[in-house]
Amino acid sequence: MIMVVNILYIILTILFLYVCCNSLMAEYLLPPSNILPRTYRDLYAIMKDIGMEYQAIDACPNDHILYYKQYEFETECPECHSSRYRTDQVTKKVSHKVLRYIPIIPRLQRLFRCENLAQFMDYHARGRSGDDILRMPADGFAFQDMEEKWPHFKEEPRNVRLSLAADGVNPYAEMRSIYSVWPVFVINNNIPPWMSIKREHIMLAMIVPGIFYNNVFLTQ
């Protein structure tokens, strides 16, 4: 009986501290015009309204396919025949692996809504160096080769040129690094290079989970 009372006391203390911390943070730490969301559901509703929601896409546990488009309703991988869902869950279907994709098109559209940023969306076309010195991605051969292959894309300088970057990807298992996720980033190459490398202009596009092995996620 004493143990039960002690456990209840600890739970009530934690709840009291949680409520107090939220109240203090909302009242004293944030400016008066800002209100901290009380619950995760409230926070998700705000993120959804501003176009920052993510899409959860099931994936093969061995990284063969995504259960997307033609594989959306499949229950096993056509390559390795592994189950899409965990077998130790009875009450509901729980996927082995889930890729989280954060749509980038709404965020790219918001770039042109900001006047201070929209004026730089054609900088790659008017800021190139003429002395064959590489100062920005537009001066590189890869950038120029892309414009030669798709001349219609080149005609509009405001068309968005993007770079893809990933951290922790080890496709051939040549490194002895272990990661639980692979973040995939998108970098805007239209704007000046001293702006594109700043944190606020690097967009997180996907979060890819690693391989689940012996209760630990590993990359391969």
Going residue by residue through the chain, which has 220 residues, state the pLDDT in tens, using 9 for 90 and above. Answer: 445 445 555 655 665 555 555 555 555 556 666 666 767 777 777 777 766 778 888 988 887 888 988 988 888 888 888 888 887 766 778 888 888 888 888 888 888 888 888 888 888 878 777 777 777 888 888 888 888 888 888 888 888 888 888 776 665 555 666 666 778 889 888 888 888 888 888 888 888 776 554 444 444 4
Residue 153: both structure tokens together: 């894309």
Residue 213: the pLDDT is 43
Residue 5: the pLDDT is 42
Residue 210: the pLDDT is 66
Contacts of 27 (CB under 8 A, 6+ apart): none
Rounded to two decimals, the pTM is 0.65
Q: What DSSP character marks residue 195?
A: H
- Cβ atoms within 10 A of the Cβ of 44, count? 14
Residue 7: the pLDDT is 52
Measured between alpha carbons, how far is 154 from 32 in angstroms, rounded to an integer?
47
SS3 content of the chain, % helix, strand, coil (to 5): 35, 20, 45
Residue 155: the pLDDT is 85
CB 45 within 8 A of CB 53: no
Measured between alpha carbons, how far is 149 from 210 in angstroms, rounded to an integer?
35
Instruction: Give the angle 56-102-191 at the CA atoms, nearest 5°.
Output: 165
Name the CA dihedral angle for 171, 177, 182, 183, rounded to a multiple of 10 degrees: -120
Residue 70 φ then ψ, to 5°: -70, -15
